[in-house]
Amino acid sequence: MIERCQEDTRPRFGPRARTAVVLAAAALLAATSAAFLPGTASAGTTLGASAAEKGRYFGTAVAANKLSDSAYTTILNREFNSVTPENEMKIDATEPQQGRFSYGAADQIVSHARSRGMSVRGHTLAWHSQQPGWMQSMSGSALRQAMLNHVTQVATHFRGQVVAWDVVNEAFADGSSGARRDSNLQRTGNDWIEAAFRAADAADPNAKLCYNDYNTDNWTHAKTQAVYNMVRDFKSRGVPIDCVGFQSHFNNDSPYNSNYRTTLSSFAALGVDVQVTELDIQGAPANTYRSVVEDCLAVARCNGVTVWGIRDSDSWRASQTPLLFNNSGQKKAAYDAVLAALNTGTTPTDPPTNPPTTPPTNPPGGSCTATLQDGTRWGDRFNSTVTVSGASNWTVVVAVTPPQKISSTWNGSPTWDSSGNVMTMRSNGSGNAFGFTTMANGNWNRPVVQSCTAS
């Protein structure tokens, strides 16, 4: 733990860092013009692009066996810029026999996503459910060791490819007890959760490490408070936790409550990111979908929203028709409400700390011109857009400075060099501009356009 504090290069948002950013921003605003003020509206036409313009992602659960369904992939590729494997990274899928790991289906999803500029949420390393038979029958220190080995192996396999892991899933009991859920993992000792986080941190120090649960959305519920107390305790003792996932499976028995925003902001105030990880809502009421998105946008540390499937027929609760697309892949009213919410209003942002400069263009000599413009900047990341003139079928090469990492893109088809720092973006029919989000990882250099080529 102590070593991690010294080595960790991930940005931290302790009170002191936040104050410094705010003061610097205030000084800049006083000294310069209103050009820094964030825009008031964006005109995104897909969920992913509109979320990205707000510095968020919009994701979906994906099933590997549906990647051959072109109606499914058409929507996936068009609308989403983050993906969570629905079952393929679970323990029974990745370690079906003890010590024999199987990554085929998960790798397929990761490669589909990353080759299209989508980020991947890993789900999930340690859980009482969907355990393979061999693990279900284990207990005590043998189970603890097997669990830690599983976390280490799987997080190592996907190291660098997964931006956030649900390290531990659903470890608290329902109801009013506020207790841990009884499970074979819990019976290995109350410290099993933090042990899992430490193992994940050692295996993939750059992934954000999340605790994920359901029925933790209503701020007044005992389960919500119990998770909150655990996260507060982890932060105070330096257990490496970076984020909390709120599954947000809303239905008549556990409905959305307007204190959801309070839940998100209260957790964020502990110094963790928050993410809506498995959203579906019985009947897909447009107003409730809109509220969830507005709540996330209102909380600066809410990174994004993932819906738990694309079409109603893809849902684990298909009979509730809880998703944004109907069985034939058509947009439902809830889709329009979500898109409108993503495109409305301003975003709470940290204004840029760099003074504006003439936007850089690629060096002369290419067969088109690509101009990079700074977009919104947050405490840990920033957006850039690149506008191309002189070609409609273009290829633009952009480089970022390590340890920066491009975490999502929109309106183009990216490929990457082996370092992951040089992105070759090709036009995909979305027009003459593309965009991307760069995780700063402490480095705020502007990305460099290396070339623009017409094809």
Question: Taking a C-beta distance cutoff of 8 angstroms, is the pair 275, 216 a contact?
Answer: no
Contacts with ligand XIL, 238-257, as mask; x by CB under 6 A: ---------x----------
The least distance separating ligand XIL from the CB of residue 453, rounded to whole angstroms, comes to 43
Active-site residue numbers?
Answer: 170, 278
Cβ closer to ligand XIL: 162 or 341?
162
Going residue by residue from 312 to 341, which x/- string records binding to ligand XIL, judged by CB under 6 A?
A: ----x-------------------------
Beta bridge pairs of residue 164 = 121, 208
Instruction: Candidates 48, 54, 77, 86: give the one binding ligand XIL (CB under 6 A).
Output: 86
Tell the smallest beta-carbon distance from residue 317 to ligand XIL (Å).
8
- Using alpha carbons, select from 185, 189, 187, 197 the residue that is nearest to residue 231: 197
Q: Which H, E and C letters describe 301-340, residue by residue?
A: CEEEEEECCCEHHHCCCHHHCCCCECCCCCECHHHHHHHH
What values do phi and psi take at 315, rounded to 5?
-75, 145
Angle 31-33-39 (CA atoms, 0-180°, nearest 5)? 130
Of 237, 259, 178, residue with least CA distance to 213 = 178
Q: Which CB, 53 or 95, lies closer to ligand XIL?
A: 95
- Residue 264 C-beta: closest distance to ligand XIL, Å: 18
Give the contact letters, 110-149, x = binds to ligand XIL (CB under 6 A), - = no.
----------------------------------------
* DSSP-derived 3-state class of residue 100: strand
Shortest spacing between CB 245 and ligand XIL, in angstroms: 9
User: Binding of ligand XIL at residue 282 (CB under 6 A)?
Assistant: no
Distance (Å, rounded) from C-alpha 236 to C-alpha 270? 9
φ, ψ of residue 403 in degrees (nearest 5): -90, 25
Binding map of ligand XIL across residues 159-178, x = CB under 6 A, - = no contact: ----------x---------
Q: Please name every residue paired with 382 in a beta bridge, in sequence order, or none if there are none.
A: 377, 438
343 touches ligand XIL by CB under 6 A: no
Using the rule CB under 6 A, is 87 a contact of ligand XIL?
Answer: yes
Per CB under 6 A, contacts with ligand XIL among 198-227 are 214
DSSP conformation class of 250: E
If one asks whether residue 421 binds ligand XIL (CB under 6 A), the answer comes out as no
- Please identify, using beta-carbon distances, which residue of 46 and 215 lies nearer to ligand XIL: 215
Least Å from the CB of residue 439 to ligand XIL: 25
Residue 31 burial (10 A CB sphere; 0-12, 13-18, 19+):
exposed
| Residues of this chain that bind ligand XIL (CB under 6 A) | 86-87, 169, 214, 247, 278, 316
